[in-house]
Amino acid sequence: MANIGVIGAGSWGTALALLLYKNRHRVQVWSYKEEEARELAKTREHRSKLPGVRLPGDMEFTWDMKEAAEGKDVLVMAVPSTAVRVTARQMKPFVKKGQIIVDVAKGIEESTLLTLSKQIEEELPEADVAVLSGPSHAEEVARELPTSVVIGAGTKETAEYLQGLFMNEFFRVYISPDMLGVELGGSLKNVIALAAGIADGLGYGDNAKAALITRGIHEISRLGVKMGGAVESFTGLTGVGDLIVTCASVHSRNRKAGYLIGQGMSMQEAMDEVKMVVEGVYSTKAAVKLGKKYGIDMPIVEQVNAVLFEGKDAAEAVGDLMMRQGKPEHTAKPWN
């Protein structure tokens, strides 16, 4: 049995805490809001994020970072991507040398273009940082529906240890040394999911969504490989798999925000309506910058950025994508 601190009491942090508890580990969940921690401890239900999911009577909740982080075998970083760096700083006094920290959020820091694991490593250089990603909506994991994910880590030893902690009969865990590829796939697919949602909001059909998913993974994989990721990561669970579920699922906050934008809402109105962090909004500017930095053409990402931050009409953005100059789908096979 491991002693695990889950840093973040949102839907994903709570679902993973429940999973780890069912795997017979001791679990303590930290919330940055005292009232939320008290409410969870009292009601044994996350009514706003996971209604109807019962939390065990001996699962612990706290708003004290020292209590949550100090002396733990593993810390699961489950805060929104925009809060990862500041939360890591808050954890620093309580993190021991070699401390295993698993980041389960998805995002890229706009100012530095760093993945979340690299941000944690900057703030906590003594830690052993790993990542968990894949097509895994909290609502389904909390209800024990079959799910497969990937853990990326710096060493096989750490990856296999974490695989053993998380894996069970409904939560299958693969491992990978390609932390960068795992993180890029998980982060950039949120931008494409916004595009898919916008297309749905505009009333376009399945053909349009299929095209966005297919060409979206093309953009993601070209950039990811150029940055040093493995192409297999982008054709696997944390690439194609996560992209499909985020573009299509009713649970996807990115798709929902995009849908509302396609229906005529502004970016801020859509985010307010979703009532949860829409990670793709925060990754879009970073994705545009990465594309320019590495010389990769990313037309879908650029049009999403124009709609979100430059006031471009969503229908016009789709029209511009459709009317780009004709080109080959790929160059893998030459003409005869």
Annotated catalytic residues are: 189
Closest CA to 114 of 150, 90, 82: 82
CA 325 to chain centre: 33
Strands 60-62 and 74-77: unpaired
Sign of the CA dihedral running 185, 234, 15, 71: negative
Contact 184, 115 (CB under 8 A): yes
CA 118 to chain centre: 15
Strands 147-153 and 128-133: antiparallel
Contact 64, 32 (CB under 8 A): no
Contact 170, 149 (CB under 8 A): no
Distance CA 186, CA 132 (A): 9
Distance CA 192, CA 255 (A): 9
Contact 176, 51 (CB under 8 A): no
**Burial level of 160, CB count in 10 A (0-12/13-18/19+)?**
middle
Distance CA 88, CA 98 (A): 15
